[in-house]
Structure 1
Amino acid sequence: MSYRNCAFGLICRKFKPHLLMVIVQIAVTFLYFLLVASFDNGMNPHVFVTYRHALGGIVVLPFAYVLERNLRPRMTVAMFLELFLLSLIGVGLNINMYFASLKYTSASFVTSMVNTVSSLTFIIAVALRLETVEVKNPRGQAKIFGTLLSLIGALTMTLYKGHAIPSLHGSPIHIRGHSVHNNWIKGSILAIAGCISWSLSYIMQAVTVKKYPAQLSLTVWLNFMGAAESAVFTVLTQHKSAWSISSNIQLWCILYSGVVSCALVMFTQIWVIEQKGPVFVTMFNPLGTILVAIMAYFVLGEQLHMGSLLGGVIVIIGLYLLLWGKEGDQDLLKSQQQSSLTHDEQKESRTQAMASAEQEVHNGT
């Protein structure tokens, strides 16, 4: 029994990042519908971003201060400017444009567009020479073809609406307001721009977390800086009346988003990026698309369009072609690292691995 418990523990540790990302997608799914309801009640998306990131920073601050007191690296001017730029791209630009696009389109459309982040991240990484592509290799061809498919799917969702699938009149909740779904062209442009900045932020996070390995403290910095940047933009562009919270749904949306999305989800994603890389995080976006589409249709009675469904399917196919090609990179890297070891080093590595496994079994007993 102890050996089985030990084996179960090893499996849980191996798939811990997978489980955490599934939980993240479930948590974000609920946020989308709180947002749609809040925007329908007149909440300003830029004010929302300011409040939620300020609250997220406040929630994580005491944990970061206590748990990472001896782990935080010294803050330099260069690191401060790097964090400022990362928060500007990942919060100030990305989140503001992303939530504004949700106000003008729909939850199903916006979550479908998020699936293009993996392809955009891949394109930017190739342009920056952070990613290599072997055109003659099948996995390299899968990367290229998958990227093209994802972009075609995104264009399909943006430019083609198609036949409308009627909403369910018997759904429990109906959201129909003048502030939602009233400008698809503007919302599409904002969604595309938000996805581009999102891709850039993932690449920057992967670089920054290596220089600043204190994930909790990094979460605090990004939240507070993002809130400050969003506040400046809001003060310059919005009327002061936009800062008021006029309903309970707006209050609950800010609390849920601040505690769950900006504190727990952001910290989890930073940890998973450090463990598995930025592309691994984006591969779970299709799960969020499916969950949102199902809940939007059956719970909210949201109308679906064939263009969104067709484009979403194309994007998901392209995404997993890209991920299949990326998986080959990991296998190639492991084989290259293994082949670079001498015979004695390989023997010592195998001995250490066996000793570690025996120690874990012994601890389990």
Structure 2
Amino acid sequence: MGCCRSELLQRMKPYIAMIALQFGYSGMNVITKVSLSSGMSHYVLVVYRHAFATLSIAPFALFLEWKVRPKMTKWVFLQIFALGLLGPVIDQNFYYIGLKLTSPTFSCAMSNMLPAMTFVMAVLCRMEKVDLRKMIYQAKVVGTLVTVTGAMLMTLYKGPVLEMVWNKHSHSHSSAVAAEPTSKEWFLGSIFLMLATLAWASAVTLKQYSAQLSLTTWIYFVGTLQTIVMTFVMEHKPSVWTIGFDMNLLAAAYAGIITCSVAYYVQGLVIEKRGLVFASTFSPLMMIIVAIMSSFILDEKIYLGGVLGAILIVIGLYSVLWGKYRENKEKKGRESISLPLALKESEWCQVAKSSTTMKAEEETLEA
């Protein structure tokens, strides 16, 4: 009985970890929305977020990877500089602008476009070829189109407000809640969220830099410096840097330590054990959790257009992920077939080599 329970727990660990991560990400979105609505500059928030992330990851990278850390070259640093621009600078600032102009639930729904955006970027950069005769590519293309359709529906159509059961009779309004965004703000926020997702999809990891903790630390550190420069350019009041023991500090520390450091480590373990597709399938759960939390805490209104668009995005997401899963399975199948063939070839080489050696020895004896 104890053995069965232990085995069941081992099987459940990746599921428990990913569900816990979705709760962690959900809390970050809600807390960040409250901070931005209370007047926190998104430029400053990005600086503090990645400063906390750098300080929390750097010690582990320093002590755990000091033997395996590759040498820093000029070309690697330039790539890290570009990743810092795409990630901490462009992606995070655009995401926070979109979050401020729309809502946490809407922002989470838009972030589910990432696999489709990554597929589009891979095709445009000729990193992936599309053969529409195969079902896996048909699933990816159709999933991408459905995802984009869902995003457009959420952007252009709100529809009636849907009453949630738990806040149907609630008329309380927190002082931290921002005013209802206008149609113009909603549209601009949607554009910024799409650009943020596109920037994140363009951020390809460096395979030649094998020390992942050190690489992440470098990206966060360089990104922090870049966002400091950007903040000095965009914000001219020294008072924007002021931060106390309040919601602004909580938002920066929570995002930097929990969602950038702890979540990075946990998700890395899950991906290593179960694969990237498995980890990506849990992302729609965050949208549901955020919708419930936002309706409770922020009194967020849920619109019919948002629900319909989110459903389309999730359908498209799973279609793209299914295509990716089948593609990975086919690759593993080809590798498993090619490996025995390679072994057979090496065996034939050994036989040929041994026969040649024996023939040479016989000729020597005859001589």
Superposition TM-score, scaled by structure 2 size: 0.84
Moved more, 249-258 or 265-274: 265-274
Pairing partner for 1:163 from 154, 160, 164:
160
Q: 1:119 aligns with which of 116, 124, 141?
A: 116
Query: Which residue of structure 2 lines up, in the alignment, with residue 184 of structure 1?
Result: 186
Write out aligned runs for 1:350-365 (5 A): none
Q: Is contact 2:147-2:317 (8 Å) kept?
A: yes
Question: How far has the Cα of 1:101 moved from its partner?
Answer: 0.9
Look up the equivalent residue of 1:219 and give its one-letter code: T
Q: Does residue 39 of the first structure (1) align with residue 41 of the second (2)?
A: no
Closer, same or farther in 2 for the Cα pair 1:278/1:234, shift >3 Å? farther
CA distance in 2, matches of 1:29, 1:279: 20
Letter matched to residue 191 of structure 1: L
Percent identity, please: 34
Structure 2: how far apart are the matches of 1:344 and 1:214?
Answer: 30
Q: Does 1:103 align with 2:100?
A: yes
* Code of the aligned partner of 1:188: S
The 5 Å alignment of 1:331-350 reads 331-342=329-340, 345=343
- Relative distance call for 1:223 and 1:344 in structure 2 (3 A) is closer
Q: CA RMSD in A?
A: 2.7
* Displacement after TM superposition at 1:130 (Å): 2.5
- Provide the rounded CA distance (Å) in 2 between the counterparts of 1:226 and 1:143: 32
Pair 80,21 (structure 1): closer, same or farther in 2 beyond 3 Å: farther
- Name the counterpart of 2:209: 212
Q: Secondary structure at the match of 2:126?
A: coil
Q: Alignment partner of 2:339: what SS?
A: coil
Give 1:123 shift.
Answer: 1.1
* Greater Cα offset, 276-285 or 187-196: 276-285
Q: Distance in 1 between matches of 2:300 and 2:233?
A: 34
- 1:89 is aligned to 2:62: no
Q: Which structure 2 segments of 5+ residues have no match?
A: 345-367
1:72 equivalent in alignment to 2:69:
yes
Task: Determine if contact 1:173/1:299 at 8 Å carries over to the other structure.
Answer: no
In the TM superposition, 1:14-53 aligns within 5 A as 16=14, 19-53=16-50
SS class of match (2:158) = coil
Deviation at 1:82, TM superposition (A): 0.8
Q: Assess, with a 3 A threshold, how the Cα gap between structure 1 residues 304 and 243 changes in structure 2: closer, same or farther.
A: same
Q: Distance in 2 between matches of 1:95 and 1:192?
A: 12
Structure 1 counterpart of 2:57, one-letter code: V
Q: Distance in 2 between matches of 1:284 and 1:215?
A: 23
Q: Is residue 2:60 matched to residue 1:63? A: yes
Deviations 1:296-339 (A, max 9, x none): 22443211111111000011011111111222112211221122
2:179 and 2:73 map into 1 onto residues whose CA distance is 44
Q: Taking structure 1 as reference, are residues 124 and 283 closer, same or farther at Cα in structure 2, changes over 3 Å only? A: farther
Q: Which residue of 2 aligns with 1:174?
A: 174
How many residues get paired?
339
Distance 1:179 1:99, change over 3 A: farther
Letter in 2 for 1:221: W
- TM-score, normalised via structure 1 length: 0.84
Structure 1 residue runs without a partner (length 5+):
347-365
Classify 1:179/1:211 alpha carbon distance in 2 versus 1 (closer, same or farther; 3 Å): farther
Displacement, 1:175? 5.5
Contact 1:101 1:188 in 2 (8 A): yes
Match of 1:199 in 2: 201
